Homo-oligomer: A and B are copies of this chain.
Amino acid sequence: MALGLHLLAELQGCRCTPVLLEQAPALEAACAGLVQAAGLQQVAAAFHQFQPAGATGTLVLAESHIAIHTWPEHGLITLDVFVCHYAADNTARAEHLLAALISQFAPAWHHVQRIERGRGLQFSAPVTLPDPR
């Protein structure tokens, strides 16, 4: 077991409605809805609007975070879904959310990397602190 699971994706040739890639409020609303539908808990958000179009932002979750950056002039998006397994194994929720996000943006091509975070570490184990030298 690891501390958490981090899904990293790049999407190209996105065929969704252009406003999702262009306007931060639309992007944030879409992401927030999919987070809730996946059974994850949003606790904060930060989005930024680029000019003339393009958006970037994060939703901070009780379970860790998602992050999304768009380049509408290239039809490109990067997506991050990171969940820690603190109170439960959140693997299924993370995979569900990533699939829903990819479906929302309808890319012609995408690539996903799955990275275990903190393999060999676990929340339930007591932490042995080193000598304070």
In the complex, the chain B residue whose C-beta lies closest to that of A57 is B60
Among A29-37, A38-46, A88-96, the one that faces the other chain is A38-46
Interchain CB contact under 8 A, A58 and B69: no
Secondary structure class of chain A's binding surface, majority of residues: strand
Task: List A residues 1-28 near B (Cβ within 8 Å).
Answer: 3-4, 6, 8, 10, 12-13, 15
Of B13, B47, B76, B118, the contact of A3 (CB 8 Å cutoff): B76
Q: Cα distance A55–B97 when bound, in Å? A: 23
Closest Cβ–Cβ distance, residue A69 to chain B (whole Å): 6
Interchain CB contact under 8 A, A75 and B3: no
Closest Cβ–Cβ distance, residue A20 to chain B (whole Å): 16
What is the 8 Å Cβ interface bit string for chain A, positions 78-102, against chain B (1 contact, 0 not)? 1010101010000000000000000
Interchain CB contact under 8 A, B44 and A46: yes
Closest Cβ–Cβ distance, residue A53 to chain B (whole Å): 14
Of B3, B15, B64, B121, the contact of A56 (CB 8 Å cutoff): B64
